[in-house]
Copies of this chain bind each other. A is one copy, B any other.
Amino acid sequence: MKHYTHIKDLSDLKTTIKDAILLKMDPFKNQDIGKNKTLMMLFFNSSLRTRLSTEKAAKNLGMSVMTLDINNVWKLEFEDGSVMNMNSTEHIKEAAHVISQYADIIAIRAFPTLTDKKKDESELILKSFIKYATVPIVSMESATGHPLQSLTDAITISEFTEKRKPKVVLTWAPHPKALPQAVANSFIETMQLMDVDFTITHPKGYELNPEIVKDSNVTYNQNEALKDADFVYAKNWSSYNNYGQILNQDTNWKITKEKLGQAKFMHCLPVRRNVVVDDDVLDSDQSIVIQQANNRTFAAQIVLKNILEQL
């Protein structure tokens, strides 16, 4: 693995999950592997879990970490051939190449615009770093995917399942703000690689990119979808077809204790309490969002470890 920007960059998801669970038992075992290696974390957007867990993961491996909120520095130019006499101070060509000389791995968070679908799907920022950097790139959530989160989710489901083929449901949930599709996309792509009975449910109009959904089960009937579920993963996303729009804030889609049944409740966090899901779900033993968030460290750590081993 050179870059990690998609779950399929892992040569073998099952093995990676097992390795991550082993790592979790002894997180400081591999501190030599990161010695004299530097992780550069570059944020175009806000972060709490990703920032802290990725820094933790790198330090667990003995790496040095440098963090830059790039918007606090200056605007980067991504267009090829542009005459830079306006607001952009530095071209990605120089920025990515120069930073590569100060770091052994570059991790990047760059959200979508949610207004320009074509630009978002081109993954301009992430792909530009891959093109112009000379070191491995790790996505800490890009315009269309969040593969560190979905690896986390896969690890968590593996830890908590007792069945050979658990039923996993991804359900849309209401939210006051327009959110990216990235978490849902990566979760779908990851579940498609796992031995699970997978269903997606959302209101009409919230269909996700068919190239990602492929032949996964999709239903507009949440109750039907949630029946006998083992894991319920709630997540809001804005419309893909009416790109970036909020079509519906129907509170009937909120996850309640009754709807959850006997399933475990998952969410990538941050979660809007009593909007996405009721307090009594989050505060019950059926919620595994905290354990899930803990696995962020080990997802990041196994990815960084695999990259370091191949440097």
Decide yes or no whether A51 CB sits under 8 A from chain B.
Answer: yes
Closest 10 CB pairs of A and B: A90-B270, A84-B272, A101-B294, A83-B274, A98-B293, A52-B102, A85-B176, A56-B102, A28-B36, A85-B275
* Given A81-B279, A98-B269, residue A38 in contact with residue B59 (CB < 8 A): yes
- Indicate how many identical chains form the complex: 3
Residues on B with C-beta less than 8 A from A212 are none
CA of A275 to CA of B85, assembled, Å: 6
Contact A49 B98 (CB under 8 A): yes
Shortest distance from the beta carbon of A229 to any chain B beta carbon, whole Å: 22
* Given A55-B66, A59-B38, A176-B86, residue A95 in contact with residue B48 (CB < 8 A): yes
Residues on B with C-beta less than 8 A from A171 are none
Which of chain A's residues 73-116 have a Cβ closer than 8 Å to chain B? 73-74, 77, 81-86, 89-91, 93-95, 97-99, 101-103
Residues on B with C-beta less than 8 A from A60 are 36
Contact A93 B28 (CB under 8 A): no
Shortest distance from the beta carbon of A272 to any chain B beta carbon, whole Å: 4
Name the residue of chain B whose CB is nearest to the CB of A47.
Answer: B73
**Given A82-B274, A98-B269, 18 more pairs with CB closer than 8 A:** A38-B56, A38-B59, A40-B52, A48-B99, A52-B102, A53-B102, A56-B102, A83-B274, A84-B272, A84-B273, A89-B272, A90-B270, A91-B273, A94-B282, A94-B289, A98-B290, A101-B294, A102-B297
Q: Contact check: which of B53, B82, B293 meets A273 at CB < 8 Å?
A: B82
CA of A83 to CA of B273, assembled, Å: 6
Decide yes or no whether A69 CB sits under 8 A from chain B.
Answer: yes
Contact A48 B74 (CB under 8 A): yes
Chain A contact surface mostly: mixed
Q: 0/1 per residue, A113-143, Cβ < 8 Å to B?
A: 0000000000000000000000000000000
Decide yes or no whether A209 CB sits under 8 A from chain B.
Answer: no
Shortest distance from the beta carbon of A118 to any chain B beta carbon, whole Å: 23
Which of chain A's residues 278-308 have a Cβ closer than 8 Å to chain B? 279, 282-283, 289-290, 293-294, 297
Name the residue of chain B whose CB is nearest to the CB of A35.
Answer: B28
Name the residue of chain B whose CB is nearest to the CB of A59.
Answer: B64
Name the residue of chain B whose CB is nearest to the CB of A36.
Answer: B28
Query: Residues of A at under 8 Å CB distance from B?
Result: 28, 36, 38, 40, 46-49, 51-53, 55-56, 59-60, 64, 66, 68-69, 72-74, 77, 81-86, 89-91, 93-95, 97-99, 101-103, 176, 269-275, 279, 282-283, 289-290, 293-294, 297
Q: Contact check: which of B48, B83, B290 meets A101 at CB < 8 Å?
A: B290
> What are 8 A-B pairs at a CB distance below 8 A?
A48-B73, A52-B102, A83-B273, A84-B272, A85-B176, A90-B270, A94-B270, A98-B294
